[in-house]
Amino acid sequence: MDSDKPRNFIQHIIENDLAEGTVKQVVTRFPPEPNGYLHIGHAKSICLNFGLAEQYGGVCNLRFDDTNPETESEEFVNAIIADVRWLGFQWDGEVRYASDYFEQLHAWAVHLIQAGKAYVCELTPDQMREYRGTLTEPGRDSPFRERSAAENLALLEAMRAGEIEEGKMVLRARIDMASPNINLRDPVLYRVKRMAHHRSGARWNIYPSYDFAHGQEDAIEGVTHSICTLEFADHRPLYDWLLDNLPVPARPRQYEFGRLNLSYTVTSKRKLKQLVEEGHVDGWDDPRMPTLAGLRRRGVTPAAIRAFCDSLAVAKTDGVVDMGQFEHFIRQDLNDNAPRALCVLRPLKVTLGNWPAGKVETLHLANHPQRPELGSRELPFGATLYIDRDDFSTDAALSRKQFKRLVLGDWVRLRGAYVIRADDVVRDASGALSEVLASVVPDTLGADPPAGIKPRGVIHWVAAENAVDCAVRLYERLFSAPEPDAGDGDFRAGINPDSLVTLTGCKAEANLGRAAPEVTFQFEREGYFCRDSFCGDRDNGNRLVFNRTIALRDASPKPAGTKPPGTEG
């Protein structure tokens, strides 16, 4: 975390705790529930918790709150561990799990029953909602609230032994049904769930609620500052009540900060799961998803995500951050670090009629214009090459201001190579453009052309001699609406139908055929792209596939099929 930035409220609390000796060592934790993949909102929490521990010489735990076997799996556990590591963070000790503490949590439930502060309730879920009351009306006591400790202990044991059907009984804390905070109106501590757990198997038939487990897990681990998002602020009195009424080994404190909400995005796990299960995207790691796995597959780097998270305020209010701010950090990182390469997305064949037959010249192009330490690469240059179809027009009336590319009868510079002139075109039987016949201007490699020859601009190209075929996926934002889940409407109505366009038959320089997954390149004049990490598994063969990370500059999405003026297809 940047030491020159103004201190946020959590940093002030920690510094005061350390100065007063209330805390000897800062211990934070990142406690995801393994019921889905992590998303960009989680990245803010990860960076905050690990960053605070690092800043103040403390430690941060990675702990899975795996208290609901119905929705959790090892797949999600492994994905989360991989994401945290990918972001560059290392937790203290071994990975921790709520399920590690199930015996202790059960013992503390027994403690509450013996102290007259918990009871087994047989109200149905609908009856519990009715008895709970409203924000303006107090709740009513359950008719089972006055059971004896002995009866409650026997019923809890029957629940644990699998003798009680799901939904028939729950264990509730005995607090205050008239409390203005609904979370204190005898909340549920344990539910019957007769299903196997991904770690503990079939040993348990009852599972603790998140509210019951969370604070006690923090206490077991010696967490000093339990940092949560704002939706847990109303739960803090229950967090404190449980700690105050149990013989816990430590006394953590909970603090809440505003969660990260991004425009043009949804970060609800429930809604992300819906997108996956209904087939709107190709899995949790689809590059259009705001998941860390999706961003990684798209070519976004950990450095860009961490820089973005570090730029965000840690405040006591929620807010929406414009997607453009995140995209700024992605572009800035890739502009500084991504090696350059040439790839023609919509190839058009060009034949240089005056190039010596059979001659292939080796050119050397820098891998980065401002990073000489990244070296250079060799590219062949011969009589046949490819340019982008959108970079050519037969309309000689187009002004240079309108079209700074190749026009029939005019000149253009090829990136890092020669100046060429378009002399004629070849069309197929249907009349469609199939080839440009051109000529090279001699002695223009790294030199200005003779007087009277003024290239319109610079375009990219790929030599036909060793070009590799590839497919390119052009990704746009998954949602067209800035706030897709605002109001009472269906968030899926805002899905952008043009969020993915796949181009096949693209031509790339040979070096890209050896590109490693997750290494992002700037395809000159096109944008930033990385080789897809799963193309071999998911595309029926080991095709060479590149995903567009982001365009070179911010621009609103254009309708499908939009072309520059004067281009032919």
Residues noted as catalytic: 33, 259, 269
User: Can you read off the two tokens belonging to residue 102?
Assistant: 């199930």
Which residues contact residue 244 at a Cβ distance below 8 angstroms, ignoring those fewer than 6 apart? none
Which residues contact residue 411 at a Cβ distance below 8 angstroms, ignoring those fewer than 6 apart? 419, 420, 421, 441, 449, 453, 454, 455, 456
List the Cα angle 466/405/357 in 5-degree steps: 40
The one-letter amino acid at 495: I
Query: What is the 3 state secondary structure string of 30-88?
Result: ECCCCCCCCEHHHHHHHHHHHHHHHHCCCEEEEEECCCCCCCCCHHHHHHHHHHHHHHC
385 bridge partner residues: 350, 463
Look-up of token digits 């905070």: 181
Which residues contact residue 543 at a Cβ distance below 8 angstroms, ignoring those fewer than 6 apart? 470, 471, 535, 536
Which residues contact residue 514 at a Cβ distance below 8 angstroms, ignoring those fewer than 6 apart? none
d(CA 428, CA 408): 18
What phi and psi values does residue 480 have, to the nearest 5 degrees? -85, -25
Which residues contact residue 314 at a Cβ distance below 8 angstroms, ignoring those fewer than 6 apart? 8, 9, 10, 48, 257, 258
Total number of residues shown for the chain: 569
Q: Specify the DSSP class assigned to residue 495.
A: B
Q: What SS3 state is found at 159?
A: helix
User: Can you read off the two tokens belonging to residue 29?
Assistant: 């934790």
**Do the beta carbons of residue 300 and residue 287 sit within 8 Å?**
no
Residue 301 CA: distances (Å) to CA of 82, 141, 281, 323: 14, 54, 21, 16
